[in-house]
Structure 1
Amino acid sequence: MARISLQLNPTLSRTTIKESSEPKLLHLPNKTRNSRVLILGGTGRVGGSTALALSKLSPDLHLVVGGRNREKGDAIVTKLGENSEFVQVNIDNVKSLEASLYDVDLVVHAAGPFQQTEKCTVLEAAISTKTAYVDVCDDTNYSMRAKSLHEKAVAANIPAITTAGIYPGVSNVMAAELVRSSKSENMGEPQRLRFSYYTAGSGGSGPTILATSFLLLGEEVVAYNKGEKIKLKPYSGMLNVDFGKGIGKKDVYLLHLPEVRSAHEVLGVPTVSARFGTAPFFWNWGMEAMTNLIPSEVLRDKNKVQKLVQLFDPLVRVIDGIAGERVSMRVDLECSNGRETVGIFSHKRLSVSVGTSTAAFALAVLEGSTQPGVWYPEEPEGVAIDDREVLLQRASQGTINFVMNKAPWMVETDPKELIFGIFL
């Protein structure tokens, strides 16, 4: 794949990007302009959103929507236009899967949930057919299994990025940039990194994200404190976090998320944690109650969780109509000299933003930013340092608030007053 050299604009460290109505069209090099991209799970909310984002960002791409339901597939192909097609594929069937990968330049794996999945079948098929790969995995164990295939991907000369959606994904790149900027600005050594996420309702993402949430409640939270791995109860450790303009202050709770481990290991930050919260507020109470009342072995059972999803989904859809689907993530970095820096990303619609974010990673791979092997988003071999700004600019299109490397008081909903140079 052709490698595009992109200059990193130093203004990324002090940037605010406001909402824009339409994504900016991209002009890819001739070698990648007409690439064929297969989106597995393309009839679902995340995969469909990714396909739509790619079609708007780069209309020359040939998009192949992969899924089991032809009726749904035909419907989304109609939206995408003539430069697209549907292919019926079952990712649990290796022959069917590998057949769909031939003559494809990149596969985007959005057929979740990834929790409790024992094998990285799609990644293994991508390596076997020498197809570049991106997934939107949000499960720690699955991401570690994917990383275990690193040497095979290198031998096959295949670039692959795991956990490359909005969170994890864009949040990892934000964290990497905060760490890089802190070191370049002599802010001292990074000491603590905290990921905070908020989504109104289910974010309009339907049963899949509901299943993901329930399955995560069955997983013990892994965090890091001064270099020591610690285990905590899921949906505990509540913090009230200020997500700034358009979102405000929200309660968030500990969850077991893959960016905690990858950021600790890749970025070398000794203290790392991740929290999530939702709205209306009683959903948080419900999630906390489920953790306390339902045995963890039930919440780790996909079949039993699916029954819970069927029970709750109608109610969730009603509440979603009232709550909306705003999404926000805040990444806080504290350094050894006491200085703090923050990045915030907020959007009105998770169902749109997750597709735009995933599309940004897909384009980075097509443009040659990713080296052979399996990488996390914050690894420079996954998204080259010089290409991070472009990825963040693409992912943040349509946001209501995107800031990087600001002092915490500068992004608060009610900022502290500055009198005679003293913060009160």
Structure 2
Amino acid sequence: MVATLGKNSEFAEVNINNKDSLEAALSDVDLVVHAAGPFQQSQKCTVLEAAIETQTAYLDVCDDTNYAFRAKSFKGRAVDANIPAITTGGVYPGVSNVMAAELVRAARSESKTEPERLRFSYYTAGSGGAGPTILATSFLLLGEEVVAYNKGQKIKLKPFTGMLNVDFGKGIGKRDVYLLNLPEVRSAHEVLEVPTVSARFGTAPFFWNWGMEAMTNLLPAEFLRDRSKVQQLVEWFDPLVRAVDGIAGERVSMRVDLECTNERSTLALFSHRRLSVGKRHSCFCSSNS
């Protein structure tokens, strides 16, 4: 990292739960990128608060609904501090939201039609190169009820159910994906005003999906919402996941499907060899049913 950023780079150890520690670290910084997940079951937005206090531009890669909307409640304070503050600015959610917004924009402005259904589908082989963080995130999400929208009505569903087989294109092919509670569902419904929205995730090898499905059915939701217990699970599984990564690879892909009132359907597809995205391949396609 130092080789990439330059010789002036330096590292500082901070406690992200300690506001004073954070404010000291941010006292002479232009931008803080908060990537210290998992964000699930976090009760405070301490890094964001410290950024506001020190008037430091803020960006996070949050992928948790509660955290994301708690962060948005600081909008007024960020405006008063005259700093940009962006939440959920990672790959998914983040890039996936931009893909969805472009599909909706094109449907309304170019095709003169109204969106009816938006579906986010995500695939990551193994850990996607993200290591134990994505494991912890996935396990914690298994403890959350899935919020989705059906014809404008908010519905709650069991996590890691509602399996669909989705084609992620060349190099990845068809993969099974399952419902998870992700923040882009609510934001797409409220901001893009799409009445039916859901999000699904799947991994590889296929037996990891079976394992997550089994965890959802066998472990109490309270256990899966306990960060300390989930961290123990991560420590047990991480060596095995890393070993399998060498076989399964670390590809990541996102597909966003939009269905409209005139039976026109469009999709956006984004794939990369690792979850930490650099150069990427993406496309937008449309068809009439």
Same-fold call, TM cutoff 0.5: yes
Distance 2:254 2:16 in 1: 31
Contact 1:187–1:336 (8 Å) recurs in 2: no
Cα distance change on mapping 1:408 and 1:209 into 2, 3 Å: farther
Distance 2:287 2:109 in 1: 19
Q: State the match for 1:248 in structure 2.
A: 173
Q: State the match for 1:407 in structure 2.
A: 286
Distance 2:201 2:112 in 1: 28
Q: Deviations over 1:122-164 (max 9, x none)?
A: 1111111111110000000000110111111111112111000
Residue 86 (1) aligns with residue 11 (2): yes
Contact 1:221–1:233 (8 Å) recurs in 2: yes
Matches within 5 A, 1:64-83: 76-78=1-3, 80-83=5-8
Shift of residue 307, structure 1, vs aligned partner: 0.8
Q: Select the residue among 172, 183, 198 that pairs with 2:108.
A: 183
Q: Which amino acid letter does the alignment assign opposite residue 403 of structure 1?
A: C
Shift of residue 79, structure 1, vs aligned partner: 5.3
Distance 1:137 1:131 in 2: 18
Q: State the match for 1:300 in structure 2.
A: 225
SS at 2:198 equivalent: strand
Aligned residue pairs: how many? Answer: 289
Q: Select the residue among 196, 204, 220 that pairs with 1:279.
A: 204
Q: State the match for 2:50 in structure 1.
A: 125
Shift of residue 337, structure 1, vs aligned partner: 0.9
Distance 1:333 1:349 in 2: 25
| Aligned-residue RMSD, C-alpha | 1.4
Shift of residue 204, structure 1, vs aligned partner: 1.8
Distance 1:228 1:96 in 2: 43
TM-score (normalizing by structure 2): 0.97
Q: Which amino acid letter does the alignment assign opposite residue 128 of structure 1?
A: E
Q: Which amino acid letter does the alignment assign opposite residue 134 of structure 2?
A: I
Matches within 5 A, 1:315-394: 315-350=240-275, 352-353=276-277, 356=278
Q: Which amino acid letter does the alignment assign opposite residue 402 of structure 1?
A: S
SS at 1:230 equivalent: strand
Contact 2:223–2:230 (8 Å) recurs in 1: yes
TM-score (normalizing by structure 1): 0.67
Shift of residue 189, structure 1, vs aligned partner: 0.7
Distance 1:209 1:286 in 2: 15
Kindly name which structure, 1 or 2, has the bigger radius of gyration based on alpha carbons. 1
Distance 1:317 1:175 in 2: 32
Q: Select the residue among 174, 192, 214 that pairs with 2:139.
A: 214
Cα distance change on mapping 1:87 and 1:186 into 2, 3 Å: same
Shift of residue 81, structure 1, vs aligned partner: 3.0
Q: State the match for 2:70 in structure 1.
A: 145
Q: Select the residue among 115, 119, 129 that pairs with 2:40.
A: 115
Shift of residue 186, structure 1, vs aligned partner: 2.8
SS at 2:80 equivalent: helix
Q: Which amino acid letter does the alignment assign opposite residue 283 of structure 2?
A: V
Shift of residue 83, structure 1, vs aligned partner: 3.5
Q: Which amino acid letter does the alignment assign opposite residue 261 of structure 2?
A: S
Distance 1:300 1:149 in 2: 25
SS at 2:238 equivalent: helix
Distance 1:324 1:139 in 2: 25
Contact 2:126–2:203 (8 Å) recurs in 1: yes
Q: State the match for 1:192 in structure 2.
A: 117
Q: Which amino acid letter does the alignment assign opposite residue 204 of structure 1?
A: G
SS at 1:407 equivalent: strand
Shift of residue 77, structure 1, vs aligned partner: 2.5
Q: Which amino acid letter does the alignment assign opposite residue 127 of structure 2?
A: S
Shift of residue 78, structure 1, vs aligned partner: 4.8
SS at 1:102 equivalent: coil
Q: After the TM superposition, which segments of 4 or more aligned residues of structure 1 sit over 6 Å from their partners?
A: none
Question: What 5-or-longer segments of structure 1 have no aligned partner?
Answer: 1-75, 357-397, 410-422
Question: What 5-or-longer segments of structure 2 have no aligned partner?
Answer: none
Q: Deviations over 1:98-133 (max 9, x none)?
A: 011112111100111101100000111111111111
SS at 2:39 equivalent: coil
Matches within 5 A, 1:155-170: 155-170=80-95
Shift of residue 326, structure 1, vs aligned partner: 0.5
Shift of residue 187, structure 1, vs aligned partner: 4.0
